[in-house]
Structure 1
């Protein structure tokens, strides 16, 4: 097969592992930055064209069709990345997470709404408009309070406000800068840990428990967190699969937390990193992703 990976940083561990696995299985794979793409729509055939420019001085060239697309772009490339995914979806080319599912997962508030709609428990959350009093809004959520930007990954854009006064100050400052925030209960009993479930298709293929650094409430690898193996209960597996299906994803990193109220879904990541979970679990997730793509062509 001829595969395309959409990725801004091809040297990243996840991109390199997927490239190696694809080539080891006999596939050709290109790695392109979606922000260097130009999409063209025309009245006459071909109606959809996609051009690529290697650098600002190079001549753009028309990209061929591919057999499958692997999206690995970050939150800053979501708009263009999803536009490129939509281009391939309209041509009936398989995308390992299409643009519709990707956009659902990348919007933190929308994803929480969709999960709640399907009866999936999430932390108590609130979103207020720019003209709604921050002082009144914060009363809807427990203190300490988690504040999150609507778009972001790797723990970036997540703030712990220790008291309501600081929460209001942060909200007013960022609202003034036109940065909307959602508010969530801080689950103190989790003590800076969460569970990452890596889902491919209809199976949880790997898991780990992430542990934040001392005095760090975020357990993300990119925030200096560590990880250890963990055995999921059947209930946790079912929940991870349900959350993935709810957003229409083929591949997802589902973050769970064990709270006094029971299991909660913190987030569903449409482009989960491979490094920490592969090294912790010892499972070749990159290969399983390539095999999953291959299976789509054997149906």
Structure 2
């Protein structure tokens, strides 16, 4: 049946169904493997032994990186690489990797305590965005507009967070109301779209179903995408950027990006692009 690829994830969503359905037309077989039932550790683990490659698409921002380490150690071609997934899962690690590669990133302060938080507010000044180091899809990202509410907001981090959940970043609020999502396959920019907040939600996250429009692949955007790929290695990425008066800055890079919304905005055939990349690396 040709090369067998496992999509390792906690569920089969719209994107996974499209990839599974498109694979046979290109001589591949893609199937879902539940990321909760792999029990990896044995280099010859039976749960992945019959596959030529694995695509890590776990929604968990800790599980994916751990599974990638073991799959890669077993000699399986892993997308993305364990190193890239771990960098994307941790917003602090990602910013550090990109800064070292001279990729412009959103200004930030690491907050591990209330003292850190108070100092960050003095250095950046509200409005600021408070976000967890680990997490995605816009979850637990909070806009702090005024200093007089900041301490109450941090009470929730301090009292309800546990362990790594209390690790946060404080960033300036870039009040443009929009963000840019670039979908990358291998080293190629396949699609780019601009997302704007919907209704009363200030977050311009593609996962939230916001307004969108296709963007041209201008040279500045392409250069940043090329530099991100050079820093993380080729793979499948959703790169989120903000446009500022000084140019684009990278906000986040998603290692298991959704693509339904950007497909609607641009008409790009992302499943075919992904499958052709799989063919290329398995050749």
Please indicate, yes or no, whether the TM-score normalized by the shorter chain is above 0.5: yes
Q: Which residue of 2 aligns with 1:265?
A: 250
Q: Which residue of 2 aligns with 1:9?
A: 11
Whole-angstrom distance in 1 between the partners of 2:140 and 2:114: 21
Asked if 1:186 is matched to 2:186, the reply is no
Q: Which residue of 1 aligns with 2:45?
A: 50
Question: Is contact 1:102-1:249 (8 Å) kept?
Answer: no
Q: Which residue of 1 aligns with 2:152?
A: 169
CA pair 133-39 structure 1, distance change in 2 beyond 3 A? closer
Gaps of 5+ in 1: 42-47, 52-61
Question: Is contact 1:7-1:15 (8 Å) kept?
Answer: no
Deviates more, 1:24-33 or 1:152-161: 24-33
Identify the match of residue 220 of structure 1 among 199, 205, 213: 205
Whole-angstrom distance in 1 between the partners of 2:134 and 2:107: 18
Q: Which residue of 1 aligns with 2:89?
A: 106
Whole-angstrom distance in 2 between the partners of 1:40 and 1:88: 9
Shift of 1:79: 3.3
- Secondary structure, counterpart of 1:38 in structure 2: coil
Shift of 1:242: 1.0
Q: Which residue of 1 aligns with 2:23?
A: 22
Question: Is contact 1:144-1:163 (8 Å) kept?
Answer: yes
Question: Is contact 2:187-2:234 (8 Å) kept?
Answer: no
Query: What whole-Å deviation, never above 9, does each CA across 1:70-90 have from its counterpart, x for those lacking one?
Result: 11111x2x4333333222212
Spell out the pairing of 1:1-299 with structure 2 (5 A cutoff). 1-10=3-12, 12-41=13-42, 48-50=43-45, 62-74=47-59, 76=60, 78-130=61-113, 132-176=115-159, 177-178=161-162, 179-188=166-175, 190=176, 192-298=177-283
- Secondary structure, counterpart of 1:112 in structure 2: helix
Deviates more, 1:114-123 or 1:154-163: 114-123
Question: Is contact 1:2-1:68 (8 Å) kept?
Answer: yes
Whole-angstrom distance in 2 between the partners of 1:240 and 1:142: 30
RMSD: 1.8
Shift of 1:249: 4.6
Shift of 1:247: 2.4
Question: Is contact 1:202-1:241 (8 Å) kept?
Answer: yes
Whole-angstrom distance in 2 between the partners of 1:224 and 1:84: 29
Which TM-score applies when normalising by structure 2? 0.91
Q: Larger Cα Rg: Structure 1 or Structure 2? A: 1
Question: Is contact 1:96-1:293 (8 Å) kept?
Answer: no
**Equivalent pairs, count:** 277
